Structure 1
Amino acid sequence: MRAFGWLILILSVLGLIVASNVFFVVRQSQQAIVLEVGRPVRLINAPGSAGKPGPDEAGLHMKIPIYQQVEIIDKRNMGLDIEGIEVLASDQRRLRVDAFVRWRINDPLRYYQRFRTEDAAESQLMRITTSAIREVLGDVPVPEIVSGQRAQLMGRIRQSVNTGLAADGIDIIDVRIRQADLPTEVAEGVYNRMRTARLQEAQRIRSEGEERARLIRAQAEREKTVIEAQAREQSSIIRGEGDAKASETYATAYNKDPEFFRFQRALIACETAIQEGTQVIVGPQSLGICDQFFDSARSAGAPR
């Protein structure tokens, strides 16, 4: 009975060993290459092409023990940090650049034939990316790298790296410069020149604004002078028309009753000349009805 138990245990262990060599699991984030004596014969859960997803073959698979081997390759997007790249810009100043590359394996068969391991792939990727960064950034001056057309430069670097790895089964998704530092003494000079350039630009804009303000004020003054002259002219015309209308009205009234008009004018003259309590020395003569008012005024102003 004890011997039978040992037999079952031995068979179970052998079964587990055989199963572990026959069955293997490919996860959703993985792809696998089945090899026969080192020669690739089957690809499992491969990525798609031309923007189309590949077949979903994740799960449990079988292989022939010993005769067949399986290489598991990552299917996800991967990242690689590249630090301390020495770059000589077109203005002969040095930069220390830190970059980040995001990449993926789009042809696992070519990738395996070229690199075999992820470390070898990253080493090649680092060399090509470093060379592309030095080549692209070496064509532009430091101000363009620090604060200029960063996106266009990154696009050129990405294209250059993709071209260098096109036959290796690797697709470069993005390349980014995380940091571009100048030596302290160089950085201070660059930033001072940039600040001076910005101040000059601000002064130019301010001067243009002041000149524009002067032109606007001069135009406003001219318009004001014209409006005032037109207003004075219009006022003179209206006043003249009013005076003419008044003269016409007086003339019409006088012609209707000359005696009444003369009487009214005499009353106005008397009212202007007579002041109560004062003696009138000189007064109009032969005003007819007004003579009695002057007589009263003279008697009222005589000393008592």
Structure 2
Amino acid sequence: MSVKSIVAIVVSLIILVAGVSSVYVVDEREQAIVVKFGEPKRTVTTPGLHFKIPVMEQVIFLEKRILSLDVPPQEVLASDQRRILVDSFARYRIADPLKRYQAARTEVGAARLLEDAMESTVRQVLAKEPMNEIVSGQRAELMKKISDLTNQRALTFGLEVVDVRLKRVDLPRENSEAIFRRMETERQREAAEKRASGQRDAVKIRAAADRQVAEILAEAERQSQTIRGEADGQAVKIFADAYGRDEDFFEFYRTMQAYRKSLGKDDTRLVLSPDSEFFKLFMDNK
């Protein structure tokens, strides 16, 4: 092989390599920055085939899609001086590739800048609100404020915040335990008060019931005495009327009643004179 042929082959290879290295493809999900010796020259946001100067220029690809940032939980002091634990996340995209590259050369560095900005904004916004509003109040409005303020800071380093969410807002563990103990003590105190109140009511109810029972029994006894008195009076009147109609029969009846009461038991013994008035009915009255 001649020298000319070898030179031609080498030149062809150099041209081929230079041609291949001067071409790059930008995916529709990406955007790129062309840098020359580390200095940004231009940004490419249109997908397709593009060209660069071989060796002298390098291409740095950046995401065009929306990215997520999960911010570590942080303690925040609310306006009522209560500490709360806030867990949040953000969704963002690269709005200006050049600013993003100038602010942070890597994606990790850019995420750290956004994380710092968001932590600062969360503390700034939530420090103006009481705990009850943060936990269960106007949370949507607070997230909107945090998103707007974070976006203003993020735009300075080429990022655009699309959304911010507070995943969890809770008390720190030690505060939660203290509040739980205080709530438990309060519930125990309320239970003791209710038991004492129930016992007082029970005593009152029992006393009222006992008083009603005593009154009812007394009234029943009074009515029974009245009825007995009326019955005795009627019995006396009946006996008096009967005695007035037939004195002999009444005397006979009373004597027989006396015999029944006196001689009704087998072990009854009477020691009387035979001519006693008590045995007058046994005498032969001719």
- Where in structure 1 do 4 or more consecutive aligned residues deviate above 4 Å? 9-17
Structure 1 gaps, min length 5: 2-6, 46-56, 197-304
Describe the superposition over 1:48-88 as per-residue Cα deviations: whole angstroms up to 9, x where unpaired. xxxxxxxxx21222211111111111111111001221111
Q: Alignment length, in residue pairs?
A: 183
In structure 2, the residue matched to 1:81 is 70
In structure 2, the residue matched to 1:159 is 148
Q: What's the CA shift for 1:119?
A: 1.1
Q: What's the CA shift for 1:16?
A: 6.9
Q: Is residue 179 from structure 1 mapped to residue 180 from structure 2 by the alignment?
A: no
Hey, what's the Cα distance between the residues in 2 that align with 1:185 and 1:170?
37
In structure 1, the residue matched to 2:83 is 94
In structure 2, the residue matched to 1:103 is 92
Hey, what's the Cα distance between the residues in 2 that align with 1:16 and 1:98?
54
Q: Is residue 22 from structure 1 mapped to residue 22 from structure 2 by the alignment?
A: yes
Counterpart secondary structure, 1:179: strand
Structure 2 gaps, min length 5: 2-6, 188-286
In structure 2, the residue matched to 1:141 is 130
Q: Is residue 128 from structure 1 mapped to residue 129 from structure 2 by the alignment?
A: no
Q: Is residue 66 from structure 1 mapped to residue 55 from structure 2 by the alignment?
A: yes
CA 1:144/1:65 → structure 2, altered by over 3 Å: closer, same or farther? same
In structure 1, the residue matched to 2:32 is 32
Hey, what's the Cα distance between the residues in 2 that align with 1:96 and 1:175?
16
Counterpart secondary structure, 1:65: coil
Hey, what's the Cα distance between the residues in 1 that align with 2:161 and 2:22?
35
CA 1:22/1:181 → structure 2, altered by over 3 Å: closer, same or farther? same
| TM-score, structure 2 normalization | 0.55
Q: What's the CA shift for 1:41?
A: 2.5
Hey, what's the Cα distance between the residues in 2 that align with 1:152 and 1:22?
50
Hey, what's the Cα distance between the residues in 2 that align with 1:174 and 1:67?
39
Larger radius of gyration: 2
Percent identity reads 43
